[in-house]
């Protein structure tokens, strides 16, 4: 018998469990928060953008979900500890953590990249992920359970011209993911990464050739074997599954959600 993804989620619906999502003011984080709430989790939304956080919270509550917000810079250890402590205070536990906050930086050749750009990207994309792991893991280890999903990228699997800072940071995310997974495998805590492919977000479209959104989407879709860009919901579904008991024997891996991009040798622009 075959089950739809929605039916699978219903089997593992998480009542009285809570998750934290960083980068939750927009994009992948916002949609993942909505999906987690629909799956039955209480959600703590974390971002530096208070207005965006409020909008994400409202969307969740309009759908009957439970959400709290916390403004934090993920590169600041005191603020990271703050959102972790807040989650424990509000919900009593942390069952899932979408360690998602990230920035692209300014596209440029390595020879033209200012070191300040490199430092800023690494601060958010690597230091932020590391700090999130450090403080959330302590809670989950004490619980004897929990699932962490870090956000990698297609840039985690190879080189991307003009994005040296970003690509370096996303390679580092995979190293952190695998190390954290192995260190904590005996504790009941799982750590994985999701690798978004060509996903229809403002961040992705920003660097795509084309004068209009329609032209950018058409160009980007040609690089995907399935012939279309993915959606933030595609990533959210993967994250919520990795949170669930349905993924209880999955740890230390990268999950590409990319329409087949990583399966090919040469991209097609036909």
Instruction: Return phi, psi of residue 191, to 5°.
Output: -135, 120
Query: Cα(189)–Cα(181) distance, rounded to whole angstroms?
Result: 8
DSSP result, 1-42: ----HHHHHHHT--TTEEEEEESTTSHHHHHHHHHHHHTTEE
Nearest Cα neighbor of 196 from 251, 138, 261, 131 is 261
Q: What is the DSSP letter of 125?
A: I
Nearest Cα neighbor of 101 from 78, 81, 130 is 130
Please, are residues 230 and 255 in contact by the beta-carbon 8 Å criterion? no
Please, are residues 140 and 148 in contact by the beta-carbon 8 Å criterion? yes
Q: What is the DSSP letter of 163?
A: B
Nearest Cα neighbor of 140 from 102, 172, 181 is 181
Query: Cα(95)–Cα(97) distance, rounded to whole angstroms?
Result: 7
In angstroms and rounded to an integer, the radius of gyration of the C-alpha atoms of the chain is: 18
166 classed as catalytic: yes
37: which 2 tokens?
């709430």
Catalytic member of 41, 166, 266, 269: 166
- Enzyme catalytic residues: 166
């Amino acid at each position: 018998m075959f089950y739809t993804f929605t039916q699978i989620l219903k089997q593992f619906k998480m009542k009285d469990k809570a998750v934290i999502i960083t980068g939750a003011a927009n994009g992948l984080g916002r949609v993942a928060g909505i999906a987690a709430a629909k799956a039955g989790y209480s959600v703590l939304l974390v971002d530096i953008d208070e207005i965006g956080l409020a909008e994400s919270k409202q969307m969740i509550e309009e759908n009957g979900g439970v959400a709290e917000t916390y403004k934090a810079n993920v590169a600041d250890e005191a603020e990271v500890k703050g959102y972790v402590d807040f989650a424990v205070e509000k919900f009593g536990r942390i069952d899932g953590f979408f360690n998602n906050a990230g920035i692209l930086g300014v596209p440029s050749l390595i020879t033209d990249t200012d070191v300040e750009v490199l430092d800023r990207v690494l601060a958010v994309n690597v230091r932020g992920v590391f700090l999130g792991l450090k403080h959330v893991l302590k809670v989950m280890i004490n619980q004897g359970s929990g699932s962490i999903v870090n956000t990698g990228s297609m840039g985690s699997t190879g080189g991307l011209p003009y994005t040296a800072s970003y690509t370096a940071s996303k390679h580092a995310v995979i190293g952190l993911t695998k190390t954290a997974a192995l260190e904590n495998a005996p504790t009941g805590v799982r750590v994985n990464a999701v690798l978004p492919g060509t996903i229809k977000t403002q961040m992705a479209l920003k660097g795509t050739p084309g004068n209009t959104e329609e032209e950018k989407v058409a160009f980007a879709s040609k690089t995907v074997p399935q012939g279309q860009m993915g959606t933030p919901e595609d990533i959210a579904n993967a994250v919520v599954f990795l949170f669930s008991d349905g993924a209880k024997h999955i740890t230390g891996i990268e999950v590409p959600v990319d329409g087949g991009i990583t399966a090919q040798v040469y991209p097609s622009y036909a």
